[in-house]
Structure 1
Amino acid sequence: MTRTLGCVVALLLSFLSAPVLAQEAAAPGGAPPDVEATHIALRALKQDMEDALNKQDVDRMLTHLHPDVVFTTMNNDVRVGKEAIRAYYDEMMRGPNRVVEKVTAKFEVDDLTRLYGNTGIARGSSKDHYVLTDGTDIVIDSRWTCTMVREGDRWLIAAFHYSTNVFDNPLLSKMKNYGAGLLSIVAIGALLAGFVIGRTRRRKATA
């Protein structure tokens, strides 16, 4: 009787575990198919956002954003909502006082997106190439964090935060060089002024 009961339990366990084993075998790395499909969708989202940014296709970028998206920019500005982000883009790249002539970026992820139900958090780096309206051509290494939410069958970006090293970046180096050049000009000007003033005084003294 005990042996028969043990066989029945083993048989039931084999039936219960079969679907799980089938799911693990169906996806790379042992991940369930729905999780793998989610990561495929998120990789496609990243790639399309990168492509839209590099082509300056703002309308396409906005389709991937949640209506209440929060974007923290590299210049420490915070924009909330799609239209606020469109206005920021127009201000920086299209308006009469624009700063950026062109930007291209290459986004890299540190690891797979961490999934919490219908929320995902990704992090990584970005190599951003900027051409500014004053002719400055620089490449900045950035860090980013992105929060995404699933609504229906789509993943949308709910928050994106950009940052760079404030102690070591091309813009800081440019400002340091500018400051050193300005100090040199001021020093030369002071020397010339001192020479002229001294010469004038000597002429007055001998007159």
Structure 2
Amino acid sequence: MTRLPGCVVVLLLTFLPSAALAQPASNDAATHEALRVLKQQMEDALNAQDIDGLLRHLHPDVSFTTMNNDVRVGKESIRAYYEEMMRGPNRVVDRIRAKFEVDDLTRLYGDTGIARGSSRDHYVLTDGTDIVIDGRWTCTLVREGDRWLIAAFHYSTNVFDNPLLTRLQHLALAAVTVTGLGALVVGAVMGRRFRRRQEPPSPHAP
């Protein structure tokens, strides 16, 4: 029986683990690059208002929690939400421009990945409101074959400090101010009429 020299055994033990780990590391690098491309494609589709481009990267059973706390499940439900908010007769949003940033590399668990990050979204509403909202998002992805698809997306913003809340507060303050001024004017008019009725008739009146 042929025995390998001790130095050869040491070299094999040194390099074999590195060779074994090199392949997974290479696969992970390719995966992260594919996910970066996916993020950019989703961002481009949203900014171009390309709903078909968005749906192309979603899992058929995708779950989407929107900023207004609506939950949509499935591609057609998300299409209906998009049509309602941006294209229908009662649409709220005229156009949007978003920029997505990731916090770090997607956490990979076999064929599942979880990513998180932030977004800076410029909204122009149909009533002319022009606001920028800083949001936070979490995305769950699954691999099917050689493709990564979005299985869940949760979007939120700070309910205590955001431009839309500030605008609503200003509108509420304006409404209270107008109502208060109106009440003062009505009170003044009614007071004058009441005083006139209470005044005694003039002694020179016929």
TM over 0.5: yes
What is the CA–CA distance in structure 2 between the aligned matches of 1:18 and 1:202, rounded to whole Å?
99
Q: TM-score, normalised by structure 1?
A: 0.91
What is the CA–CA distance in structure 1 between the aligned matches of 2:63 and 2:184, rounded to whole Å?
53
- Radius of gyration: which is bigger? 2
1:43 is paired with a residue of what secondary structure? Answer: helix
Deviations 1:33-56 (A, max 9, x none): 100000000000000000000001
Aligned to 1:13: 13
Number of matched pairs: 198
What is the CA–CA distance in structure 2 between the aligned matches of 1:105 and 1:20, rounded to whole Å?
41
Deviations 1:114-168 (A, max 9, x none): 1111000000000001110101111000000000000000000000000000001
Which structure shows the bigger proportion of residues in helix conformation?
1
Give 1:8 shift: 5.0
What is the CA–CA distance in structure 2 between the aligned matches of 1:192 and 1:92, rounded to whole Å?
41
> What residue ranges of structure 1 are gaps of 5+ in the alignment?
25-30
Map 1:162-181 to 2 at 5 A: 162-181=155-174
Residues 180 and 15 of structure 1, relative CA distance in 2, 3 Å threshold: closer
Deviations 1:83-134 (A, max 9, x none): 0000000000010110000011000001110111100000000000111010
- Give the root-mean-square deviation of aligned CA atoms: 1.8
Q: TM-score, normalised by structure 2?
A: 0.91
1:70 is paired with a residue of what secondary structure? Answer: strand
1:9 is paired with a residue of what secondary structure? Answer: helix
1:40 partner letter: E
Aligned to 1:28: none
1:32 is paired with a residue of what secondary structure? Answer: helix
